[in-house]
């Protein structure tokens, strides 16, 4: 067993606290000001980035690191609010797509400006351009390794 050194532990715990507190603050802000949950926002971001605003269920779940049941329940709630629809996959009877609706696009377009403003206020305004480049490099390297290890 390779325990973390005091320096590694300080960095790791600081990273986890930052992630939890920043994520929590952003999620509360989205919910209170836009009536969009942090999970809704994450789904809508992925869908707006996808061609035609559609993504296969399993690909979206993998991108969000969600279990199948969480994905299914959350998409059902979003569909109930008219933000997304579920479409069957003609090529694969077992597969399905999640597709953003006009209401989903309107929701993210309304929420995004305040979200970006909060990201700037809570994070970007407190790091230098050099620190930001290092953070981006670290994030991309770790994400690449996680993607390689994905089953």
**Four-residue CA torsion sign, 147, 50, 119, 79:** negative
Q: Can you give the pLDDT at residue 90? A: 74
Residue 88's CB: how many other CB atoms inside 10 A?
Answer: 10
CB proximity list for 112: less than 8 A, separation 6 or greater: none
| pLDDT tens sequence across 85-128 | 999 877 766 789 999 999 999 999 999 999 999 999 999 999 99
| pLDDT tens sequence across 17-45 | 999 999 999 999 999 999 999 999 999 99
As a whole number of Å, the end-to-end CA separation of the chain is 25
Largest Cα span, the chain: 54
Q: Output the pTM of the full model.
A: 0.89
Domain ranges of the chain: 26-149
| pLDDT tens sequence across 123-132 | 999 999 999 9
Q: Rounded distance, CA 117 to CA 61, Å? A: 27
Backbone angles phi, psi at 3, to 5 degrees: -70, 155
CATH architecture type of domain 26-149 = Orthogonal Bundle (1.10)
């Amino acid at each position: 067993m390779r325990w973390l050194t005091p320096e590694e532990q300080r960095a790791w715990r600081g990273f986890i606290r930052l992630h939890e507190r920043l994520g929590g603050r952003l999620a509360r802000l989205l919910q209170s000001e836009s009536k969009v949950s942090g999970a809704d926002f994450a789904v809508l971001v992925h869908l707006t980035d996808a061609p035609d605003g559609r993504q296969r269920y399993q690909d979206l779940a993998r991108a969000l690191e969600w279990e199948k049941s969480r994905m299914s329940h959350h998409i059902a709630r979003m569909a109930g609010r008219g933000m997304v629809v579920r479409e069957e996959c003609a090529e694969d009877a077992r597969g399905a797509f999640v597709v953003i609706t006009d209401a989903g696009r309107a929701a993210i377009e309304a929420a995004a400006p305040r979200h970006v403003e909060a990201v700037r206020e809570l994070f970007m305004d407190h790091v230098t351009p050099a620190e930001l480049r290092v953070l981006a490099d670290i994030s991309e390297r770790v994400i690449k390794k996680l993607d390689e290890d994905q089953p």
